[in-house]
Amino acid sequence: MIDAISTLMRCRAVREIRTGQGLIRCFTEGVIQGEMENHGRHLVQVQWDSGVTDYAYPSEIEILGQEAVMPQPATTESLSTGTEA
């Protein structure tokens, strides 16, 4: 279980999570997008590496401790030369 939630932190499922969009398998990793309260329940929105974005309970995930790396847009130079900037 987690106590404090930080947006854009990496996390992983500690058990299978059944959602309206499908099944998130245990150990699937993702990026925390936010959190909310709904009818007295604390929920965490996660964008899973499997492509699904859905809510999980804090007890269903664990923080991995590093911030997610957001992809950098390609520059014109890197596209023309085939190298990274």
Give me the pLDDT at residue 50, please.
Answer: 92
The answer to whether domain 9-69 has CATH 1.10.10 is no
Burial class of residue 43 in the structure, from the number of CB atoms within 10 Å of its CB (0-12 exposed, 13-18 middle, 19+ buried)? middle
Q: Which residue has the tokens 């596209």?
A: 79
Give me the pLDDT at residue 68, please.
Answer: 61
Give me the pLDDT at residue 5, please.
Answer: 67
Task: Give the pTM.
Answer: 0.71
Mean pLDDT by 10 residues, the chain (85 residues): 70 95 94 93 94 94 77 57 58
Distance CA 11, CA 55 (A): 13
Q: Which residue has the tokens 């854009």?
A: 8
Give me the pLDDT at residue 71, please.
Answer: 54
